[in-house]
Structure 1
């Protein structure tokens, strides 16, 4: 895919985001498009005049995201693009925002709902920060020093997560290169050990489009139940509210993670919208 085609697709994604109020392709997918990654499959749909009307991306795990230009919807392009996507080997399809049209198409193709990713939002003053567990201290991320330690803890904390736990150094560095990356909002918790300090948890915040985000909160399995996750969540929320002046904060959490949902609900988060994943049956 050449630069011109990537720019055309990016423009289509921007038009769709403006019309729908959300992104049709995930951050990971947009980075893959922008950086020309070859570990994804890009499908484009054009009309009889060669005008781009739709785009689909299939990742290495055979999950797909699709979008049709808002001006060309209800012309059958989405149905045709979904058929091509499934014929290309996709096993799962995202429906960001759970749009009724996407759910209708999923039913038409006999796809089964297998995942619900909830976007929660909170608009409230910064919470009080509880005391850290004994022996744990807090500092911020240092680029060039902390990448490998962070990747190790992230993999352990999200060992069963379908996307987050498989991050590589490249995934991390792509985000470090983004304009929104700010190490001052990337908090690391360390525990005193013999011979030094060990990274045991983190809260990576993000600010983009006028909204704060609890981008990733992770705690080492050895620290589960210590209250560290609650402390890290509060530290990040305080940073977004007091240091960045943002009262509204969002985050994403799977509907089948009741423990995390309880933590965030107690912190004042409520459901804003949902993303759905449909899977090919059989």
Structure 2
């Protein structure tokens, strides 16, 4: 019987990484100089994430509806739900919420204190909104899918998109994001001021990525074999692949391209 675990890694001069982990799910990651990350998790839905210096995040969840989120330093969130209508939300420190629903009519809401608001916009799509004192928002957009959002005082957001999968996001003061995509695996992301990213993909393996000014990247993939990569200005790479054999690589080139394919077969031959 032949078992094969394949890891494809392509490290280009600009720090681009393509990873394909066969067996559980495919992950494509592209780390550019500005900290841009593209992730594609096959099986549940495609996720595009772009993490810029100001904490901007673009997420696209195909299948149910496209979501664009932009998280600025003041806690501003822009959400665009295609198919039903565009929603802009701005969450300021005093609990102010601005919502703009295009297509049916423009709505500006400023919620100070503890007032409750019920809104029902019939015609294009039914919207139920209930804004309580703790900043809880219930939105139901008929036709596209139900959205449940709860905005707590610490910036916690709960979103449930029925049909595609549940998304749990918690935005803390230090830029920490918790995302849980049911069906595909849990993603834990922590975005610190120095561009550090922690990602944990349950079932596939833990990924630790740290993107510093010198383009240092640490990656640890548990389960498939441990990979430790450090990309410094001189192009140094350390890789340790536990399992059948240990590989230690160090390159001093400024511009480099590495293709690796690790196959474990009956003959224990490493190619």
TM-score (norm 1): 0.21
Q: Which has the larger helix fraction?
A: 1
Query: 1 or 2 for the larger relative contact order (CA 8 Å, sep ≥6)?
Result: 1
TM-score (norm 2): 0.21
Larger Rg: 2
